[in-house]
Amino acid sequence: MKLYNYFRSGTSFRVRIALNLKGLDYDYVSVHLAKGEQHGAAYRAISPDGLVPVLDVQGQPDEALLSQSMAIIEYLDETHPEPPLLPRDPLGRARVRALAQTIACEIHPINNLRILKYLAAPLGLDEAQRTAWYNHWVMEGLRAYERRLQDLAEERARRGLPPSVYSYGDHPTLADCCLVPQIVNGRRFGLEYEGIPLTLAVYERCMQLDAFQRAHPSRCPDAE
């Protein structure tokens, strides 16, 4: 497998974590977003919308270029079931997907590079306004994530279950693959993450795992 990605891209980071959790080897192909490589003809032939990541899954079992990080991770989970990245029961799966989408639909799209660039030009917002924008939407989303973790913790307590180790249960899931890159990204912007203790505790526990450590931007071949 070949992963077209970028060290600082949060969506790329998600897929690197999933590949590591599954124990799958892959070739790392860097697409340098800050230099604009995603707009070049060579990459547009791989990814018509110029987005990373793209996973090339030649022959395992399909011949295809896959895009959209959550879709890629679900594909990996369906084609390489162990260890599972989603629970087996429909309710648990809905919970994990909702957690993942709280990051992937409520936070990340509003704060990625292309949006921040558009705020600078044509909109002409200064750095303080852009940082306020970033912080506002990240914390809005992470507070929602925290409330979901609280609700799930109460539900487990009612059922006599011990607290979750990760976002949902005792094993990392799709939700953790989305959460960790968002936390790492926000640190670059100086966020201190006050008021979300459950979320931060999950992050810390994930970062103790080799699969998460090896996927970190600082460990990527194109890290700066």
207 binds its own copies (CB under 8 A): no
For residue 174, give the amino acid letter.
Answer: L
Q: What is the CB-side half-sphere exposure of residue 95 using CA atoms within 13 A?
A: 19
Question: CA-to-CA distance for 33 and 183, rounded, in angstroms?
Answer: 20
Query: Closest separation between CB of residue 167 and its own copies, Å?
Result: 14
Query: Closest separation between CB of residue 52 and its own copies, Å?
Result: 13
Out of 48, 163, 195, 197, name the contact with its own copies by CB under 8 A.
Answer: 48
116 binds its own copies (CB under 8 A): no
Question: CA-to-CA distance for 119 and 113, rounded, in angstroms?
Answer: 10
Stretch that binds its own copies, among 33-41, 67-75, 179-187, 200-208 (CB under 8 A): 67-75
72 binds its own copies (CB under 8 A): yes
Note whether 176 and 202 are within 8 A (CB): yes
Residue 146: CB atoms within 10 A of its CB come to: 20
The size of the interface with its own copies (CB under 8 A), counted in residues, is 46
Stretch that binds its own copies, among 20-28, 143-151, 184-192, 202-210 (CB under 8 A): 143-151
Query: Closest separation between CB of residue 211 and its own copies, Å?
Result: 21
Out of 109, 163, 195, 197, name the contact with its own copies by CB under 8 A.
Answer: 109
Angle at which helices 127-158 and 90-104 cross, to 10°: 170
Question: CA-to-CA distance for 188 and 89, rounded, in angstroms?
Answer: 37
Out of 1, 98, 165, 209, name the contact with its own copies by CB under 8 A.
Answer: 98
Q: Are strands 65-67 and 2-5 parallel, antiparallel or unpaired?
A: unpaired
148 binds its own copies (CB under 8 A): yes
170 binds its own copies (CB under 8 A): no
23 binds its own copies (CB under 8 A): no
* C-beta of 63 vs 210, nearer to its own copies: 63
Question: CA-to-CA distance for 121 and 65, rounded, in angstroms?
Answer: 32
Query: Closest separation between CB of residue 72 and its own copies, Å?
Result: 7
Question: CA-to-CA distance for 208 and 170, rounded, in angstroms?
Answer: 14
Residue with tokens 């077209």: 4
94 binds its own copies (CB under 8 A): yes
